[in-house]
Amino acid sequence: MEIKNEKQEYTITVYTENQVGLLNRIAIIFSRRKINVESLNTSPSEVQGIHRFTIVVMESRDVVLKVVRQIEKQVEVLKAYFNTNDEIVWQELALYKVLSDEITEKVKVERLLREFGARAVAIRKDFIVFETTGHREETNKLMEALAPFGLVEFVRSARVAIIKESAGFHEKLKDFEKREPGEEVIENEYLGKREAVFTM
Query: Can you give the binding site for another protein, defined by CB under 8 A?
Result: 16-17, 20-21, 24-25, 28, 32, 65-66, 69-70, 72-73, 75-78, 173, 176-177, 179, 181, 183, 185, 194, 197-200
CA distances from 22 to 14, 51, 76, 189 (A): 11, 11, 7, 26
- Of residues 96 and 169, the one with the C-beta less far from another protein: 169
Give the whole-angstrom CA distance, residue 196 versus residue 186: 5
Rounded to 5°, angle at Cα 12 from 167 and 139: 100
What phi and psi values does residue 15 have, to the nearest 5 degrees?
Answer: -95, 125
Return the closest-CA partner of residue 121 out of 104, 140, 141, 96. 96
- Of residues 66 and 156, the one with the C-beta less far from another protein: 66
- Of residues 144 and 177, the one with the C-beta less far from another protein: 177
Q: In the bound complex, what is the minimum distance in angstroms from residue 193's beta carbon to another protein? A: 9
Q: In the bound complex, what is the minimum distance in angstroms from residue 73's beta carbon to another protein? A: 5
Q: In the bound complex, what is the minimum distance in angstroms from residue 197's beta carbon to another protein? A: 5
